[in-house]
Amino acid sequence: MKKGITKVAAVGIDVSDKNSQVCAKDAGGAVVWEKKVRTTEAGFRGALGKLAPCRIVMEAGGQTQWIKECLEALGHEVKVADPRKLRRIFQSESKSDLRDARELAEEALWRWDRMSSVTLRSRESQEKLAVLKARDALVRTRTGLINLVRSVLKQEGIIVRKGASEAFPKNAGPAVPKGLRPALDPVLAQIGMLTGQIGRYDHWIEKAGAREGTIKLLRSVTGVGPVTSAAFVWTLDDAARFPKSRTVGAFLGMRPRRDQSGDSDKQLPITKTGNAFLRRLLVGSAQYILGPFGPDTALRVWGLKLAGRGGKRAKRRAVVAVARKLSVLLHRMWVTGEVYEPFPERPHALVA
């Protein structure tokens, strides 16, 4: 065994795409060794495989899942730190990979029990969520191509009537002038291909969601479709992570920032921390709930009252507030298994 290996008590890893900075410290906080290692399974096994079990801290990132699994398989305790909660890293004016790795090792050594760590999803949920994100990428691509065709035709004085994205090639195709066909026919064909693949994703999501009772339950909420309900369950992964349902909205970045001092209490934008994908889906559901086709529900009535307090800013704030309240409702249903009631207070009022 190499000299110094048994002295290591804590390790900090600053992860990068190609090479990661590793800092190992002993129980007294002294640096035992520091080095760059390849960000591969072989690289981490070579650097940390011979160490006695120790505590390891690394920042959350795109490669966190597999690295954590690799290190835990080597017998180490691993925590993933939220970089926004590591003030000495996040607010440092002299930031470097080496300094970050040292600070992470300090977290592992001295603040292990009270550090703010990130809970990772299960691999199964991560894989299912990848399907939703792949579908989302195709939907966004299709929307961009549809907008391109509309823009080109508009320059010729041709306006394609509004309708479902699935029907766009059929509606726009006959309107394309002969001179523009070399440019737009391949785009319309690509839109059709994307629509077909999106449909296959939708079929997969429907089947996967039908096998999970929680997703079926959440879909009963007005404005929450198969993608949003599945994304809610697969993103949060474990309802027990949140002891109180009202904390879910804050976790997803829909809690307004606050700057209160004396008589001043400023209204600030939401934090926008947490999962942006799920937050966007919930905001979309809230827009439907408050829109012209949203059925009458207690949540809609509450949101419309907020929207009526001012102009466009009030409407935007109402949408976010409804999305936040919706996240709380969905989590509460998940925990309790209660069936959705559009007006939960009315039955009690009738009984009284």
pLDDT digits (tens, 9 = 90+) for 120-131: 899 999 999 999
Tell me if the domain spanning 5-110 has CATH number 3.30.1360.120: no
* Per-residue pLDDT at 1 exceeds 60: no
Higher pLDDT, 93 or 47: 47
Q: How far is CA 291 from CA 196, 287, 288, 325, 341, in A?
A: 28, 6, 5, 16, 20
Under 8 Å between Cβ of 230 and 205: yes
Q: What is the pLDDT of residue 351?
A: 38
Strands (E), the chain: 10-14, 19-25, 31-38, 55-59, 77-81, 256-261, 264-270
Mean pLDDT along residues 241-268: 73
Q: Is the pLDDT of residue 247 over 60?
A: yes
Task: Provide the total of helices (H) and of strands (E) in the chain, helices listed first.
Answer: 14, 7
User: What confidence category does residue 228 fall into, taking pLDDT thresholds of 50, 70 and 90?
Assistant: very high
CA distance 271 to 221: 26
Token representation of residue 153: 């035709």
Sheet order of strands, 77-81 included: 31-38, 19-25, 10-14, 55-59, 77-81
**pLDDT of amino acid 259:** 52
The reported pTM is: 0.84
Distance CA 210, CA 201 (A): 14
How crowded is residue 53: how many other Cβ atoms within 10 Å of its Cβ? 10
Query: What pLDDT was estimated at residue 266?
Result: 54
Q: Return the higher-pLDDT residue of 346 and 329.
A: 329
Query: At residue 57, does pLDDT exceed 80?
Result: yes
Is the pLDDT at 77 greater than 90, yes or no? Answer: yes
Residue 221: count of CB within 10 angstroms of its CB: 21
Structure confidence at residue 88 as a pLDDT band (50, 70, 90): low
Q: What is the distance, to the nearest Å, from the Cα of residue 65 to the centroid of all Cα atoms in its chain?
A: 15
**Which of 266, 255, 241, 274 lies closest to 323 in space, CA to CA?**
255
Q: List pLDDT tens digits, range 258-315.
A: 554 455 445 556 677 778 999 999 999 999 999 999 989 999 999 999 998 877 788 8
The packing angle between helices 276-290 and 312-336, to 10°, is 110
Residues 6+ apart with CB under 8 A from 169: 188, 189, 191, 192, 195
